[in-house]
Amino acid sequence: MQPIRQLMDVISHLASQQACLFTPADLRSVLPEHSDTAFKTLLSRAVREGHLAKLCRGLYLYEKANPDRGLILPHAVSKLRPLGLNYLSLETVLSDAGVISQIPMNRIMVMSSGRSSVIDCGPWGTIEFIKTRQRPKELVGQVEYDPIARLWRASVAQALRDMRATHRSIDLIDWKAAHEFV
């Protein structure tokens, strides 16, 4: 069996609507006999032929699994930074709660123990990682796990604190709505 066919057969069996993002490390064991260079070439070929879509550097999307487009970015966070503290916050949480009127389109803001960066995921949107120095024990009661996004989510009060700590504009905040949550 050709390597591309072997790779795609395994991916089609593994993938589901909830699990359709793969790193090269996830897929490397499918073809252990190939050199690293040959494997990277195979992944490039899979993207070029439309079998996989490159979400960003080091992350591939199997679109035939029909993923929920609104969950691709939050699920990508856990694949891109699996070992650090990451939680949805800032404008993402405030918009979801109705505390700010503008909805960030195709962009999520994630507080992270890792360095700040902006990851462009092409047509799927952008992930903005913002460095936080807070320790997990300081966030107890202020974040809760969102099983749908598979990511921690800040409370509105915590998102407001994060807005101040990161010196982001608070001009769009509806303080009347914010006080309902605080």
pLDDT tens for each residue of 60-115 = 999 999 888 889 999 999 999 999 899 999 999 999 888 887 777 889 999 999 99
Output the pLDDT for position 171: 81
Output the pLDDT for position 97: 87
Whole-angstrom distance, CA of residue 152 vs CA of residue 120 = 21
* pLDDT of 59 above 80: yes
Closest CA to 77 of 140, 163, 150, 3: 150
Whole-angstrom distance, CA of residue 173 vs CA of residue 102 = 9
* pLDDT of 34 above 90: no
CATH topology of domain 3-65: Arc Repressor Mutant, subunit A (1.10.10)
Output the pLDDT for position 49: 94
**Token representation of residue 151:** 């990511």
Percent of the chain with pLDDT over 70: 98
If you ran DSSP here, which 8-state letter would residue 57 be given? T
Helices (H), 15-155: 24-28, 36-48, 69-80, 90-97
pLDDT tens for each residue of 145-163 = 999 999 999 999 999 999 9
Residues written for the chain: 182
- 3-class DSSP state for residue 153? strand
Q: CA dist 119 to 23, 42, 66, 110, 181, Å?
A: 15, 24, 22, 11, 30
- Please report, for the chain, the start and end positions of each structural domain, with discontinuous segments joined by +: 3-65, 69-181
* pLDDT of 182 above 70: no
| Cα R_g (the chain), whole angstroms | 19
